[in-house]
Amino acid sequence: MGLKPEEYVDTQRFKVPSRPITDIFTSKDTAIDRSKCCRTVPMRVLVLGVGRTGTVSMRDALKRLGYEDTYHMMSASVENPPDCIMWQRAFEAKYDGIGRFGREEWDSLLGHCQAVCDWPAICFAKELIEAYPEAKVILTTRNVDTWHASVMKTGYWRAKDPELRIASYFDWGAGLYYPMLTKFFETFFKDDFPNKGKEVFAEHYKEVRSLVPKNNLLEFNVAEGWGPLCDFLGEPMPLNEPFPHANNADSFVKRCRTRNRAQMCNAAFRYAVIGVLLYLAYLILGYILMF
C-alpha cells in the first residue's frame, strides 16, 4: 500500500548537499542539517509581524534581553543555507499537500531558538501557534503603505534580483536560498506582491489576531521602544540603552549585493581550481605517455 501525498517525503530531493571546500568567500556560512537536530531550548516568543516591520531590530532587542537566538530570514539566507531545504518541505506540506511538517519538524528546524521572527516563518503563523501554545505572540506593526514601498525595494527586489538568480546556478548557498525565497513570494503573497501585498498584509494580521488570546498578544511598533515590549515579556528594561534600529533599505541592498559578489567569487574560484587540476592531470598523463 503506497503512502498518501501528505505522508510522503522525498528524502533524496531534500538531502543537504555538501558545501564545496572552495567556498572561501562565504566562510562564515555553516552547513548544519537541521533535520537531524532536536529542541534544546524552549520556544518562548513568536514574532509574527511580516518582514520589514522592524524584525531585525526585534531580533537584536530579544538578544539583548537574553533570549537564546531568534530565528530570522537571515538565519537561512546568510547563516545556515541548508535550513532552506526544511523551509521548502514546510512550504510543500502547507501549500502543495506533500509530506508533513508538524511539531517534530519545527523542533528540528527551530530547536536551537527561543524566538522566531520575519519571513518565511510568518507564513506558518497558525502552525507555529499550534506547535508552541505556551509562547507569547508579538505582532510587529507598521503603516501598510510605507511597509509595501519598503518591501518593493528590499525583499521583493531580492526575489527578482538577476544576480542572485544567476548565482543560484553556480553557488552552493545561493542555490539553496533562491528557490526558497521565490517559493515564499509565490505562496504567501499569491505570486503577485506588487498588487496583492497589501491585501495579504491585512489578511495575515486579521488571522493572527483571531488565533491568539488578547492576553497573550502584543501589537508593537518598534518606535515605541523598550517599555511595551519589556512589560509584555516580563523582562527588566535596559537602562540608558536605545532600542535597536537596524536593516534600513539601503543597508539591505548593500548587504545583498556584497553577498552576491562573494558567491560569484566562490563559483569562479571553484572552477579555477577545477581547471588547474585538469591541466595538471593533462600534464601528468602526457608525461606518463612519454615513457
Q: Convert the pLDDT of each residue in 45-97 to its tens digit.
A: 999 999 999 999 999 999 999 998 999 999 999 999 999 999 999 999 999 99
> Would you state the cell numbers that stand for residue 252, as one nine-digit string?
539591505
Q: What percent of the chain has pLDDT over 70?
A: 95
Rounded to the nearest 10 degrees, the angle between the axes of helix 144-153 and helix 249-289 is: 20
Give the pLDDT confidence score for residue 3 in this predicted structure. Answer: 45
User: What letter represents residue 116's amino acid?
Assistant: V
Give the pLDDT confidence score for residue 200 in this predicted structure. Answer: 98
Render the burial of 251-287: b for 16+ CB within 10 Å, e for the rest: ebeeebeebbebbbbbbeebeeeeeeeeeeeeeeeee
What pairing do the DSSP bridges indicate for beta strands 136-140 and 115-116? unpaired
User: What letter represents residue 159's amino acid?
Assistant: A
Cβ atoms of 186 and 286 within 8 Å: the answer is no
pLDDT (average), residues 25-35: 95
Give the pLDDT confidence score for residue 8 in this predicted structure. Answer: 46
With a cut of 80, say whether residue 242 has pLDDT above it.
Answer: yes
Model pTM?
A: 0.90
User: 10 Å Cβ neighbour count for 107?
Assistant: 18
